[in-house]
Structure 1
Amino acid sequence: MPYEPPTHTVERSIRATTGAKIIAGVDEVGRGAWAGPVTVCAAITGLRRPPVGLTDSKLLSQKRREELAVQLEKWVTAHSLGHASPEEIDELGMTAALRLAATRALDALPVRPDAVILDGKHDYLGDPWRVRTVIKGDQSCVAVAAASVLAKVRRDAMMAELQGEFLDFAFADNAGYPSPVHQAALRELGPTPYHRLSWAYLDALPAWRHLKKIRLSPEAAELESGGQLGFEF
């Protein structure tokens, strides 16, 4: 399906209205997975022409994502990644875990951005960052699209590394998301040390629901889309 390539329109608008010179695009991957970290990439691209075919990572094949990631690592002005572990997600809730991972990514950049473009409509980052949220920013904004691809490829590689240790879960194929193979392995074997134990999927697993953790943070009542019931076991 054809798509419009991302542009620097938002970056130019932020520069014109705020005077910001260094702008980072930020995107996350792994929010809806049942296992593995949530990963955030912060990318600074300037206003240069991006590699051909750059768009939201979800619109690209695995092969094309990996090819683009190699190009982007050399093309971007700077980028960095931050992660929040399953344990941190269980303890903090997803919103705070996203903030933690994003802060780690931004703090790891060699320069501090004057402004941040955040994919989506919710600002999970907050002060002290100057944030512009953009719905479908991973399709429309060059820096966010670059962050989307780099985050996805890196997290997929991290999950694939677990394949040898947990072959039955097929993490190399599903990246921790609830595929049929993943769900079947959960029923038989229970969660691995890399699973999020505060999420509602455990309520549908009588043999393992005693492992469920109750969040103690202020965001304990938050409902994350990937953590709700509604998957068939």
Structure 2
Amino acid sequence: MLFRNFSDFLLEAGTDEAGRGCLAGPVTAAAVILPESFFSASLNDSKQLSEKTREKLKPIIEKEATAFHVIHLEPEIIDDINILNASIKAMQECIINLNPIPEYIIVDGNRFKPVHNIPHSCIVKGDSKYLSIAAASVLAKTYRDEYMNRIHEEYPMYNWKKNKGYPTLEHREAIRKYGVTKYHRMSFRLLPEQLKLEL
């Protein structure tokens, strides 16, 4: 059973990201404010849910949320400011775009930077503890999966529809064979031997 609130504030937003460890595609963040009346027995950390369950939950969260926002940050930004800063920036932008603006923020993980002086708390594994973070994790994951499915049509040889840009053996073999695309993160270690120097 997930907790409803961490703080005593009514307008508490949960925020989370998806795609941090991928070799290709954006990092996607979501922020969600849920009403007191919200209840879902199946809502949990998106990684613990099947794709089918996530897809069922997405429209329920969107319909019942007091506010939600989802942001994609592209590989160029990730390469420019690094993945940690890009993840934080994406979550911050989601918060800023919520209407109403939350009075308190709970963040999945252990790193965040204040936004608009709104108080916040970082909660390790918060997506398996608090409803609003779990809802944000579901939206971030489903929106990012949809994005990867779209760009799969452009570059089917990487099979992003299946691996979603994560560093699977199949994905790395495709990089070795076909090279990189505009969707790959050039600051990431795309192939294992990249760090080996020929002296």
Alignment TM-score, normalising by the size of structure 1: 0.79
Q: Counterpart amino acid of 2:129? A: S
Distance 1:189 1:165 in 2: 14
Q: How many residues align?
A: 195
Deviation track 1:71-98 (CA, whole Å, cap 9, x = no partner) reads: 1111211100122110000000122212
1:195 match: secondary structure? coil
% identical equivalent positions: 35
Q: Distance in 2 between matches of 1:205 and 1:121?
A: 30
1:199 equivalent to 2:188? Answer: yes
Deviations 1:29-55 (A, max 9, x none): 010011011111000003224222000
Alignment of 1:79-90 (within 5 A): 79-90=68-79
Preserved CA contact (<8 Å) 2:45 2:127: yes
Post-superposition offset of 1:205: 4.8
Shift of 1:202: 4.5
Where does residue 100 of structure 2 map in the other structure? 111
Is 1:41 aligned to 2:37, yes or no? no
Structure 1 residues 9, 109: closer, same or farther in 2, change over 3 A? closer
Pairing partner for 1:148 from 114, 119, 137? 137
Secondary structure at 2:185 match in 1: coil
CA-CA distance at 1:9 after TM superposition? 4.4
User: Quick check: 1:23–1:117 contact (8 Å CA) kept in 2?
Assistant: yes
The answer to whether residue 62 in structure 2 is matched with residue 60 in structure 1 is no
Per-residue CA shift, 1:160-215, capped at 9, x if unaligned?
Answer: 00111111101111111012221110010111100000112346259xx9xxxxxx
Alignment match of 1:126 (pick from 91, 114, 131): 114
Question: Do structure 1's residue 96 and structure 2's residue 85 form an aligned pair?
Answer: yes
User: Per-residue CA shift, 1:17-70, capped at 9, x if unaligned?
Assistant: xxx331100010010011011111000003224222000000011111101112
Task: Give the superposition deviation at 1:129.
Answer: 3.2
Q: TM-score, normalised by structure 2?
A: 0.92
Between the aligned partners of 1:202 and 1:97, the Cα distance in structure 2 is 22
Q: 2 CA distance for matches of 1:205 and 1:183?
A: 12
Question: 1:175 aligned to 164, 168, 175, which one?
Answer: 164
Moved over 6 A (4+): none
Q: In the alignment, does 2:14 pair up with 1:7? A: no
Q: Which has the higher contact order (CA 8 A, sep 6+)?
A: 2
For structure 1, the residue ranges without an aligned partner over 5 or more in a row are: 210-233
